[in-house]
Amino acid sequence: MKKYILFVFCLLFFFLYSCTNEKSMLYPINKDDGVIFIDNKGKVITAKIPGVSQYEAYEQPTTQIEFDIFTYYDFSGSKLFSIDFQRKGHFEDHVFSNGLLAQKDKESDLVGYIDLSGNFVIPPQYEYCLPFSDNVAWVQYKTNETYGLIDTSGKKIKLSDYHIVTKFVNGYSYVIKRLQPDFYIPYVENGIEIKGAQENVSGSFGGIVNTEGKVVISFTLGEYTVVSDGVVKCREKYVSEKGAEYSLYGYKNLKDKWIIPPTYIYADNFKYGKAEVSEDNKTFFLIDKKGNIILDKKYSFIYVLSKKLLIVSFDKKSFYIADIKGNRKSENFSLIKIIDDKMVLIKRNGNYNYLNSDGKFFNFLDYN
């Protein structure tokens, strides 16, 4: 009996988990006179929504603001709710994450979160909201312009004094405090810091916090980014002997210790134990977490699509899928936008496609 109950519980858990994942990220595709949303496997999740997705405007960037009203319908055609999208081509306007979407209330002009039925499950009470990720989100309170950390029930986890916050990725967020302490930018000559030749300046400090709001990497002059594979990319600023300021990138662990010193002009985040770096910003290669070069074919672009696949280019005009050894695995295409770790927007043979992390293409025309 106990085994049977455990088995049923496991089935229920995986069902709920899969449903939550389906609601986490949905991607728009124009269909006739409306829009449908698919998941990263290409499965249609929503019925057709009147309006137009602005994804196809990415090749021609514009600052024009268009007021598009998207009306959500269920599969029976019954109207659920409408949303005004005011930022053209801005993907997060179209995304449900953790099953929730930030929505402004017209009467109060405040922002809360709605579910897939269009109901406010977290009442509109904030000035600004970031998308949920890892079941938490930063929200900005109107009264004092500070950010608070909440969970998907709207419960306040922590009130902060940060003036810049980023969406949580892999359980961590890069945040910045507006402080005015004196700190120094090291003077470097031939790669060696000259002690006593520092320039005193003032500014803001950044750090890394986890989903509980606890500081993982303390606030320093260094600039951090998302934590991936337990590694965080960090930019350090230097001044040349001629007084010119420049930056180099390296990688730290979550104990704020360098595991790969800042030696690169460009560096991407680690993914599946690999990261794209460059020493001249012209040719790019892959390194592992020890800094060893694992792929160097003089690419002008590399993106780690999955554990076994890359997107590469020699001229930043034509792109293709390759395996981790650089062997070609697809025809050429144009890269429009890397949306997230699970989906990329491309154009091939004159048609728009999504490309997922499995290397599968989803032609927009196939959904017509």
Q: Give 290's contacts (C-beta < 8 A, 6+ positions apart).
A: 259, 260
Q: pLDDT band at residue 136, thresholds of 50, 70 and 90?
A: very high
Arithmetic mean of pLDDT over the chain: 76
Q: In this predicted structure, what is the pLDDT of residue 27?
A: 78
* Residue 136: closest CA among 108, 163, 166: 166
| 286 or 352, which is more confident | 286
Residues 6+ apart with CB under 8 A from 143: none
266-267 and 258-264 as β-strands: parallel, antiparallel, unpaired?
A: unpaired
Confidence tier at 246 by pLDDT (50, 70, 90): confident
Measured CA to CA, the distance from residue 13 to residue 6 in angstroms comes to: 10
- 299: number of Cβ within 10 Å: 23
Between CA 161 and CA 175 the distance in angstroms is 10
pLDDT value of position 52: 62
SS3 (DSSP) at 15: helix
* 89 pLDDT above the threshold of 50: no
Residue 79: predicted pLDDT = 59
Please give the pLDDT value at position 354.
Answer: 93
CB 230 within 8 A of CB 170: no
Whether this model's pTM surpasses 0.85: no
Tell me, what's the pLDDT at 18?
38
Most confident option among 25-39, 181-195, 200-214, 284-298: 284-298
157, 177 contact by CB (below 8 A): no
CA distance 295 to 24: 33
Is a pLDDT exceeding 70 seen at residue 100? yes
Query: Would you say 89 and 58 are in contact if contact means Cβ atoms under 8 Å apart?
Result: yes
pLDDT of residue 340: 76
Which range is least confidently modeled, 225-229, 326-330, 352-356?
Answer: 225-229
pLDDT confidence tier of residue 261, bands split at 50, 70 and 90: very high
Predicted local confidence at residue 76, as pLDDT: 57
Sheet holding 284-287, edge to edge: 266-267, 275-278, 284-287, 293-299
* Higher pLDDT among residues 275 and 166, named by residue: 275
Predicted pLDDT at 64: 29
Lowest-confidence segment of 41-55, 275-289, 336-350 by average pLDDT: 41-55
> What integer pLDDT is reported at residue 41 of this predicted model?
92
Q: Which of 249, 256, 204, 197 is nearest to 230 (CA)?
A: 256
Res. 312: pLDDT tops 60:
yes
In terms of phi and psi (left: phi > 0; alpha: psi -120 to 50; beta: otherwise), the region of 188 is beta
Residue 205 has a pLDDT of: 74
pLDDT digits (tens, 9 = 90+) for 211-222: 999 988 877 666
Sketch the domain layout of the chain as residue ranges: 161-264, 265-368
Q: How far apart are CA 352 and CA 368, in angstroms?
A: 13
Give the C-alpha separation, 150 to 169, whole Å: 15
CATH of domain 265-368: 2.40.128
43 against 4, higher pLDDT: 43
For residue 87, pLDDT beyond 80: no
Give residue-wise pLDDT tens across range 57-78.
433 322 223 344 455 555 555 6
> CA–CA separation, 335 vs 316, rounded Å?
9
- CB distance 81 to 72 below 8 Å: yes
Q: Residue 314 — very low, low, confident or very high, per pLDDT cuts 50/70/90?
A: very high
